[in-house]
Structure 1
Amino acid sequence: MAGILSVPDHLRRRRATSTRPPDATVEHAVRGHRHADIATAWSLAGPALILLMALFFLPVLTVFVIALTDWQFGASSLSFVGLANFREVFADQGFHASFLNTILYVLIVVPGTILLGLGIALLIESGKSCRAFYRALHFLPFMATLTAMAIAWEALLHPTIGLVNQTLAGFGLPTANWLRDEHTVLPVLAVIGIWQNLGYAMVLFLAGLKAIPQDLYDAADVDGADAWLDRLRTVTLPILGPVTMFVSIVVALKAFETFDTVQVLTQGGPEHASEMLLYTLYRESFQYLRTGYGSAVAVVFLAIVVALTLVQARLMDRKVHYQ
């Protein structure tokens, strides 16, 4: 019986061979294919990385090096001054004013853009007709050339013949020299910034609203949240958390980079009431030709933008998760 149940030698050898681990040749071939894939990936990404370094990292490094000198644009010589330009930046009252103006401008533009963009998106989404027309109408300011847009606003806000003051006077309301009054110039620029970014925020919120499953609203109705405000609070706003954070980051960065409207409408006046960081950078570098000092302003500006981006990205990771 034992002889009948015994396994033949050739089958035993085949079974033993089939259970052996892959030999070194197979492992070497797998490793070679992996290295080939990595080499292919680097060969495809390499040109783009080189171009990125040439267009971004090298200019940033150059600006930082210039910030350590007293070079003036067009001068044939320069001297190394270390951190003197940075000390001057942080002690300069003009820089303090432009920094505070920029922060206040961002604090007005970002919430205003989000609230109005979301409100218009909700109104368009709830409508039954002409949706494409309203989307295009509100998105046009975002596509307009900033300089042309600023010139149009300058005509509207003219103190004597501008449509804004004429309309206010027609209703018996007080008028103002909106762009030459230090109390009104920054809020007016912020309103223009909101108008410019409104269409971009609206389009993103419309896309977010389209992506919300109807099942969530049905579940909210079952749970008793059948009122419009309850549905907005319990379903719409939580689901739109990632979109809202993305819009806030993009709009904040664009607000920090405001230059065209200041250059065309106010040139930083009156009394530096509308001067922004980028305009300070432009004025010091290309009007006063203090390239070393202007480069220091550019480095500080870049550090602020990077810090803002990192903080908002961290907030996005913590605040936009939902079940």
Structure 2
Amino acid sequence: MRPRESLTSLVLTAPATLALVIFVFLPVAVVFLLAFTNYQIGAPGLGWVGLDNFEQLFGSRLGRNALLNTLTYVAIVIPASVGLGLLVALGLHALARSMPRLSDVLKAVYFLPVAATLVAMAVSWQMLLHPSLGLINTWSSALGLPAPLWLSDRGLVLYTLSAIGIWQSVGYNMVLFLAGLAAIPPALYDAAEVDGATGGWSRFWLVTWPMLGPTTLFVLVVTAASAFRVFETVATLTKGGPAFASDTIVYALYREGFVYFKAGYASAITVVFFLALLLLTALQVWVIERKVHYR
């Protein structure tokens, strides 16, 4: 490459590179450094505490509770939202051949939770789940079913939030799977039929599922990232309660950093959150990448 072309490339990439360094890499480096200090927002100074913040996170009951709640939430939301997203996409993809207008309407309905503001949707769920005035408990009582305290029962609240998280994620996963289904060449199904795969189940396992490998990997990574950073529904509906039963790692980060102003401890939580998400993503890629077929 000639010097003039090199200079042009440098001039074109320099602003984006500088912005990336200033607004991404530099803050990440600062957070990693603060994680080993006792810095509090507004304090005149700070002190080096080493691994004390991490020991507090893993050693305290509240810290372990937030981590366990987050892992439980992730373990429920990821498989359920990915599986339901795939089922909905398969159904709408088949429906589009015979009833395209109805398929388009259903796609919009399923995608509505993704397009809507999460806080507004959380408020709607708060009204629906109200113990005495909510529509869900009203219908349950009318049918003679129990009307539990969805957001006040310590043993139930985390599963309620997980159900809302699944509801929020299915529409987005559906759109991704629909794109993957549309990209599968019809000739592959014809070839599979010649080989004897005439049933829907055999066609799915021999053609559809292998060809959806790259899409499935992407959906898993995106869903995992979204599930790990759950915050809006917790902050709007429960604020980590009752008795920290729905406390998650991101809400704990917010509470420690922006309510109690413990920037050092909040930074340690951020580092753990980042490393856990990085590890889960790497594990997904490492395990599933081997079985993914790229065209």
TM-score under structure 1 length normalisation: 0.86
The equivalent of 2:169 in structure 1 is 197
The equivalent of 2:233 in structure 1 is 261
Alignment of 1:43 with 2:11, yes or no, is yes
Deviations 1:167-217 (A, max 9, x none): 111111111001111111111111101111111111111111111111111
Where in structure 2 are the equivalents of 1:163-202 lying within 5 Å?
Answer: 163-202=135-174
Alignment of 1:61 with 2:57, yes or no, is no
The equivalent of 1:83 in structure 2 is 51
Query: For 2:143 and 2:151, how far apart are their aligned partners in 1?
Result: 21
Work out whether residues 131 and 150 of structure 2, in 8 Å CA contact, stay in contact via their aligned partners in 1.
yes
The Cα shift of 1:311 comes to 2.2
Alignment of 1:71 with 2:39, yes or no, is yes
Query: For 2:67 and 2:7, how far apart are their aligned partners in 1?
Result: 46
Q: 1:322 to 1:292 in 2, by over 3 A?
A: closer
Work out whether residues 157 and 178 of structure 1, in 8 Å CA contact, stay in contact via their aligned partners in 2.
yes
The equivalent of 1:282 in structure 2 is 254
The equivalent of 1:93 in structure 2 is 61
Work out whether residues 73 and 289 of structure 1, in 8 Å CA contact, stay in contact via their aligned partners in 2.
yes
- Report the more deviating stretch, 43-52 or 154-163: 43-52
- Report the more deviating stretch, 76-85 or 156-165: 76-85
Q: Percent identity?
A: 47
Structure 2 unpaired stretches of 5+: none
The Cα shift of 1:278 comes to 0.3
Aligned pairs, number: 291
Structure 1 unpaired stretches of 5+: 1-32
Query: For 1:38 and 1:162, how far apart are their aligned partners in 2?
Result: 64
Query: For 1:136 and 1:159, how far apart are their aligned partners in 2?
Result: 30
Work out whether residues 242 and 316 of structure 1, in 8 Å CA contact, stay in contact via their aligned partners in 2.
no
Bigger Rg over Cα: 1
Query: For 1:41 and 1:315, how far apart are their aligned partners in 2?
Result: 37
